[in-house]
């Protein structure tokens, strides 16, 4: 026969909880308090450890990205004097050509002789490759006639203005050589090659020798035909109708007079000999029997 065993631990707790609602509420609050205290004691904060690791190893992703960007900017600047032609810089951006002194000089010369730009566009594009903005003197020296660049650059290292090293690039043109001095300067986005002041220009007297390009002669307008130029093709005469011949003759004569400016009066139509033909009518003429 089974015996009813009572748990000596849970039985008193069950009787105490079920005794009243107040005891139940107190038990629930006490259980949450115990869990909160236990969590505070056995948990640990990773802030101190992470801070120490960051101080000991400062190569965080942000720092690495910044270092890579700086290295890329400084690493793209080259001191190699690789000569370029005008076609070699076509389509390149201002940042790309600023990495090389010959490319920067050729771009400056290409913009300088460009006649398709307005004055504001010309100064803006030219100023992207110069240490100082183009002045009014440079604008007044802008060529008024097309000037072609005749060859590749010629570069050499020289002493820079105000100390330091610089590069002098010669760009040959139809109006003479354009000597451009460049120096590596630190801009907002990194080190770039820039044209130093005074900004180079071409000799205006040599540019004027090229002259204004000759305009192609316009096609001569067609003048009125002279009497000698007018050729009249006789209209085929009809053998069956005499009045048709007379009509065609009278229509051709005014046309000949309009094509000949020297004739002031119209010629009278030539009379056709012979009787006037009577047309065939379905009804008789009035008064005819």
**Is 80 exceeded by the pLDDT of residue 257?**
no
* CA-wise closest residue to 101 among 125, 78, 131: 78
Instruction: Please indicate, yes or no, if residue 286 is contained in any of the structural domains.
Output: no
Are 202 and 112 in a shared domain?
Answer: yes
pLDDT for position 143: 92
pLDDT for position 67: 41
Q: Record the pTM.
A: 0.49
Are 95 and 197 in a shared domain?
Answer: yes
Instruction: Please indicate, yes or no, if residue 256 is contained in any of the structural domains.
Output: no
Q: Work out the average pLDDT over 179-203.
A: 88
Among 209, 232, 261, the domain-final residue is 209
Q: In what order do the strands lie in the sheet with 165-173?
A: 154-159, 165-173, 176-187, 190-195
Long-range contacts of 82-86 (CB under 8 A, 24+ apart): 83/152, 83/153, 83/154, 83/155, 84/152, 84/153, 85/151, 85/152, 85/153, 86/110, 86/149
Among 209, 241, 274, the domain-final residue is 209
Instruction: Please indicate, yes or no, if residue 53 is contained in any of the structural domains.
Output: no
Cα separation, 253 vs 251, in Å, equals 6
Instruction: Please indicate, yes or no, if residue 19 is contained in any of the structural domains.
Output: yes
Instruction: Please indicate, yes or no, if residue 50 is contained in any of the structural domains.
Output: no
DSSP 106-147: HHHHHHHT--SS-HHHHHHHHHTTBSS---HHHHHTS-SS--
Are 93 and 202 in a shared domain?
Answer: yes
Instruction: Please indicate, yes or no, if residue 237 is contained in any of the structural domains.
Output: no
pLDDT for position 266: 62
HSE (side-chain half, CA atoms, 13 Å) at 49 = 3
User: For position 95, which CATH number holds?
Assistant: 3.10.450
pLDDT for position 76: 62
Local confidence band at 289 (pLDDT 50, 70, 90 cut-offs): low
CA distances from 89 to 28, 131, 172, 230 (A): 80, 20, 16, 60
Average model confidence (pLDDT) for the chain?
73
Are 132 and 29 in a shared domain?
Answer: no
Range of the domain at 185: 87-209
pLDDT for position 173: 95
**What is the percent of the chain where pLDDT is above 70?**
61
Instruction: Please indicate, yes or no, if residue 137 is contained in any of the structural domains.
Output: yes
The residues facing 184 across adjacent strands are 193
Question: Is the distance from CB of 178 to CB of 171 less than 8 angstroms?
Answer: yes
**Number of independent structural domains in the chain:** 2
Instruction: Please indicate, yes or no, if residue 24 is contained in any of the structural domains.
Output: yes
Local confidence band at 101 (pLDDT 50, 70, 90 cut-offs): very high
**pLDDT tens per residue, range 127-150:** 999 999 999 999 999 998 999 999
pLDDT for position 254: 45
183 membership: H or E segment, kind and range: strand 176-187
Are 109 and 16 in a shared domain?
Answer: no
């Amino acid at each position: 026969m089974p015996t009813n065993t009572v748990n000596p631990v849970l039985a008193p707790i069950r009787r105490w909880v079920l005794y009243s609602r107040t005891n139940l509420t107190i038990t629930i609050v006490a259980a949450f308090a115990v869990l909160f205290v236990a969590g505070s004691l056995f948990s640990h904060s990773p802030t101190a450890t992470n801070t120490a690791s960051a101080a000991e190893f400062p190569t965080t992703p942000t720092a690495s990205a910044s270092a890579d960007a700086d290295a890329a900017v400084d690493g793209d600047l080259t001191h190699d004097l690789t000569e370029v032609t005008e076609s070699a810089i076509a389509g390149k951006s201002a940042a790309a050509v600023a990495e090389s002194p010959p490319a920067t000089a050729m771009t400056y010369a290409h913009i300088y002789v460009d006649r398709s730009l307005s004055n504001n566009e010309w100064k803006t594009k030219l100023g992207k490759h110069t240490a100082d903005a183009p002045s009014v003197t440079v604008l007044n020296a802008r060529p008024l006639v097309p000037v072609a660049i005749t060859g590749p650059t010629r570069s050499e290292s020289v002493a820079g203005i105000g100390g330091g090293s610089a590069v002098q690039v010669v760009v040959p043109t139809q109006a003479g050589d354009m000597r451009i001095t460049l120096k590596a300067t630190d801009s907002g986005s990194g080190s770039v090659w820039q044209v130093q002041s005074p900004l180079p220009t071409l000799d205006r007297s040599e540019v004027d020798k090229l002259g204004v390009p000759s305009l192609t002669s316009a096609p001569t307008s067609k003048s009125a035909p002279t009497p000698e130029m007018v050729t009249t093709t006789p209209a085929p005469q009809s053998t069956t109708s005499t009045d048709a011949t007379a009509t065609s003759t009278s229509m051709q004569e005014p046309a000949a007079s309009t094509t000949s400016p020297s004739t002031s009066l119209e010629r009278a139509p030539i009379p056709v000999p012979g009787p006037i033909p009577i047309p065939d009518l379905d009804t008789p003429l009035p008064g005819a029997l």
